[in-house]
Amino acid sequence: MSGLSRGLSRRLVLGSAVALAACEGRAKSQPALAPPLLKSLKDSATFPVGTCVQVSHLDQPLWVQLARAQCSQLTPEWEMKMEYILQPDGTYRFDRPDRIAAFAKANGQRLYCTTLVWYAQKPDAFVKLDESRVNFASAFDNYITTVVGRYRGQAVGWDVVNEAVAEDGEGWRQSLWADKLGDFDHMRRAFDLAKAADPHAVLFINDYNLESLPKKFDTFQRLVERLLKAGAPVGGLGCQSHLAADLPGGAMTRTLQALARFGLPIHVSELDVSLSRVERRFAPRAELERGQAALYTETAEAFAGLPEAQRFALTLWGLRDKDSWLRGENAADAPAPFNDDGWPKDAAHALSDGLSAGLYGNAKPRR
Ligand code: 9MR
């Protein structure tokens, strides 16, 4: 698409968002539109920039306008997980994940999917299964084969194993899956099944606190090595990146560079920067906001500095503050790049600066 037609189509999108906002009867004093950044996030980057999404967002014209303008990839936030898909009686429901997949396709955005194996989810349908390993294993196999197969050809990647490593770095987490199918074998099995169901999707192992807990990070890397050595088709490494605003500078850069040593694509898969989950609880808010902006820049710039083939995508876990899961934990948190009304915060400009580092040969960002 030429610059001219892109500008034109963006104006059309903005125009229709104005009309929709008017239909919604928004108060005049409320900002109706997110003012554009100098350049959108997706246009600032040489790699896909994503956000998580819930079906409820698709009915909000302002969210739709923001996500279309800023993002080239979508990850269903929870409606592609077992908690939604798998019913207590063992049947599957795909209405909402299908709707998100259709939205992504209609808007020319990539679809990334999370998650297949997660210690935190043990739906009734599995818990209730017969104790025999055979039934359990075939239900596990069927779930992965069916769900991955359904989005074959559209999903660019899957979080196959999510959050497998213990927080203290002492080995791997216990889970229903590990109990029934083996600590290591259930992971290996999930990768093999996902590969068979969609040979083209990039298959990730994904985890969090890798930048802040050295022992956990070490165990994560050992697990990756072991999976690769066993021949598991691990195609990429996911670094969730739920950061605290007072994380010391340099940690994210070191983490991404260490991950890059595996030579696999890297996904910054769930980036947000909390102002509440900080150690320096009494730090002035403005100082934390500066820390937040600096971390958005550092993460994007470090990512942009990875070898091209390893820059899978950078995904935000919430575009606007009010979209964030962290609001449920602390109503005063404001972890996203855009505020509740969809206006770019300093964090959005900082993120854009970091993303642009890739466009200009890793030149230093503006601020
Ligand atoms: O943000 C997600 C929230 O809406 C869901 O209720 C929750 C359970 O499905 O998962 C949240 O996302 C998590 C992600 O899948 C894995 N890393 C941590 C995220 C925040 O809890």
Q: Is 77 in the pocket of ligand 1 (CB under 6 A)?
A: yes
Q: Is 289 in the pocket of ligand 1 (CB under 6 A)?
A: no
- pLDDT above 90: residue 133: no
> Strand, helix or coil at 172?
strand
Q: What is the pTM of this model?
A: 0.90
pLDDT in tens, 116-126: 999 999 899 99
Q: Is 163 a catalytic residue?
A: yes
**The token pair that represents 337 in the structure block:** 């790049």
Same domain flag for 117 and 229: yes
More confident: 262 or 358: 262
Same domain flag for 5 and 129: no
**The token pair that represents 176 in the structure block:** 């229903």
pLDDT in tens, 240-276: 999 999 999 999 999 999 999 999 999 999 999 999 9
Same domain flag for 48 and 155: yes
Q: Which amino acid, 73?
A: Q
> Does some domain include residue 112?
yes
Same domain flag for 110 and 21: no
Residue 37 pLDDT level (bands cut at 50, 70, 90): confident
Residue 31 CB burial class (10 angstroms; 0-12, 13-18, ≥19): middle
Same domain flag for 79 and 177: yes
Same domain flag for 87 and 179: yes
Q: Which of 77, 79, 211, 270 is catalytic?
A: 270
Same domain flag for 13 and 98: no
Q: Tell me, rounded to whole angstroms, the distance of Cα 202 from its chain centroid.
A: 14
State the residue range of the domain holding 90.
Answer: 39-360
> Does some domain include residue 267?
yes
Same domain flag for 145 and 105: yes
Which ligand 1 atom sits closest to the C-alpha of 83? 9
Q: Which of 66-70, 289-293, 355-359 has the lowest mean pLDDT?
A: 355-359
pLDDT in tens, 89-131: 999 999 999 999 999 999 999 999 999 999 999 899 998 887 7
Q: Which region holds residue 318: left if phi is over 0, alpha if psi is between -120 and 50, else beta? A: left
Same domain flag for 5 and 108: no
Same domain flag for 10 and 157: no
> Does some domain include residue 293?
yes
Give the list of residues 6+ apart from residue 153 with CB closer than 8 angstroms, or none: 198, 200
> Does some domain include residue 262?
yes
**The token pair that represents 313 in the structure block:** 């995508």
Angstrom distance (rounded) from CA 97 to CA 95 = 6
Please give the sequence-ordered ranges of beta strands (E in DSSP) within the chain, or none if there are none.
49-53, 73-76, 110-118, 155-162, 202-207, 236-239, 242-244, 266-274, 311-316
Q: Is 114 in the pocket of ligand 1 (CB under 6 A)?
A: yes
Counted domains in the chain: 2
Q: Which of 163, 211, 289, 301 is catalytic?
A: 163
Which ligand 1 atom sits closest to the C-alpha of 324? 1
What CATH number is associated with residue 284? 3.20.20.80
